[in-house]
Amino acid sequence: MRGRLLLLALLACVVSALQGCDHKELCYDHEHIAEVALDFDWSLSPEAGPKSMVVRVFRLDGSAYQRYEFGDRNGGSIRIEAGEYRIICHNGSLDALDEAGRKWDEYGVECIPQNILSPMGRDSGAPRPPGTDEQPVVCSPDMFWTDFSEYVDIKPFVKGQRLSLRPVEATVDCSIEIDNVENLEESPGVSAALSGMSGRYNIVKGTDFGSPVTMPIALTPEGTDRLVANFKLFGHCPAGEGKHILTIYTYDKHYFNFDVTEQVHSASDPHNIIIKIDHLKLPEPAGTDMAPSISDWEDGEEVNIDMH
C-alpha cells in the first residue's frame, strides 16, 4: 500500500511539472512548407548557356534566408516556408567570380585574384601599369546573367505556385586590336593588363562598385603582325573617372604602356568597348646583336593614343 501511495505521489509531481512548462507541441503538419516551381525566361538572352543557375532568397528585412542551385538553365522546383521574400538569380559554376555580400542590397559577385602575368604562364614580378600599385590584380569576369524580384509572396496550403525570372547579361564586351606589330613571329610570348576596371558587381543596384582593379589579358596573334583579345568587364571607373593604361608584356621582360583612357571613356557603345593600337615594335629575339639577353624588365615610354 505504501509503495502504491509513493508511486501515485511521484506521478502527481510529474504531471504538475509538465503543466507548469511553457512548451510547443511537436509539429507533424508540413503543409506550411510549399513546393514552388521556379523557371528562367531566357527571351532577353536566348543564346545564354550557363552551367548552372543560383537562386538567393532573402527576407523582406534584407537578411539571407536560403540558397538554391539548379543544374539546368530552365529551373526546377524549390521547397520553401510560406512567407514574403525577395529573390535574386544568377548563373553559377563560375571560374573567375566569387559570390559576395550577405544582405539583399549588398549581394553581388567579385573577380578572384590573379597573377598579372598568368595569361603568359609566368610568375609575377612584372612592373605594374603606372599609378596602379594599390589596385588589386584580378581575373576578368565570366559571362554573367542575373535578375531579381523585390517581392514574392509564397502562400500556405496552395499548390501549383510558380515564380519566373528573366536573366539578362550584366557583363560588358571589351576587345583589343593591335595592328602593325613588328617581330611578332619571333616573340616567345606576349600578354597585357588593363587598369582602372571594376572587379565587383552589385546585382540589385545594377552597377559595378568597389575600388578600381587591374585585369591581366591574354593576347592572341592573328597572322604575322596583329594581336587581338576579347574578354568581359563589369565596367570601369567604379570610384569615379580615372585613368586606363594598357600595359603589354613580353616573355623576355620588356613592357610597353599605352594610355587608352579616351578610347575607354568615349566608346560609342558602352557595352562594347574597342581599344585599338596601331603599331607596336616588339624587341628583337634575345641573344641577337640588337637585343642582348636581359635579367630585369625594360620599359618603353608611355604612349597616348590619338583618337583621330
pLDDT tens digits for range 237-257 = 887 778 999 999 999 899 999
Report the C-alpha gap between 111 and 73 in whole angstroms.
Answer: 23
> Could you tell me if residue 149 is inside a domain?
yes
The pLDDT score that the predictor gives to residue 21 is: 40
> Could you tell me if residue 141 is inside a domain?
yes
* DSSP code per residue over 75-129: EEEEEEESEEEEEEEEE-S-SSEEEE-SSTTT-EEEEPB--TTGGGT--S-PPPP
> Could you tell me if residue 20 is inside a domain?
no
Q: What pLDDT, in 10s, does the model give residues 130-142?
A: 999 999 999 999 9
Please report, rounded to a whole number, the percentage of residues in the chain having pLDDT higher than 70.
83
Report the C-alpha gap between 41 and 93 in whole angstroms.
Answer: 19
Q: Residue 87 is part of a domain; what is its CATH number?
A: 2.60.40.2100
How does DSSP classify residue 271? T
Please report, rounded to a whole number, the percentage of residues in the chain having pLDDT higher than 90.
71
The pLDDT score that the predictor gives to residue 289 is: 40
The pLDDT score that the predictor gives to residue 7 is: 46
Q: What pLDDT, in 10s, does the model give residues 102-121?
A: 999 999 999 999 999 999 98
> Could you tell me if residue 16 is inside a domain?
no
297 band by pLDDT with thresholds 50, 70 and 90 = confident
14 band by pLDDT with thresholds 50, 70 and 90 = very low
The pLDDT score that the predictor gives to residue 139 is: 96
> Could you tell me if residue 22 is inside a domain?
no
Q: H/E element holding 14?
A: helix 2-19
Q: List the grid coordinates of 228.
A: 587581338
* Least reliable range by pLDDT among 25-29, 117-121, 124-128, 297-301: 25-29
Reported pTM: 0.82
**180-214: burial string, b at 16+ Cβ within 10 Å, e else:** ebebbeebeebbbbbbbbbbbbbbbeeebbbebbb
Max mean pLDDT among 1-5, 246-250, 296-300 falls in: 246-250
In angstroms, how far is the first alpha carbon of the chain from the final one? 112
> Could you tell me if residue 159 is inside a domain?
yes
> Could you tell me if residue 276 is inside a domain?
yes
Task: Determine the average pLDDT of the residues in 199-221.
Answer: 92
| Domain around 122 | 29-304
> Could you tell me if residue 6 is inside a domain?
no
In this predicted model, which residue has the larger pLDDT, 209 or 44? 44
Q: H/E element holding 16?
A: helix 2-19
In this predicted model, which residue has the larger pLDDT, 84 or 239? 84
18 band by pLDDT with thresholds 50, 70 and 90 = very low
Domain total in the chain: 1
Q: Which whole-number Å values give the CA distances from 40 to 45, 84, 138, 142, 148, in the listed order?
A: 11, 20, 30, 19, 11
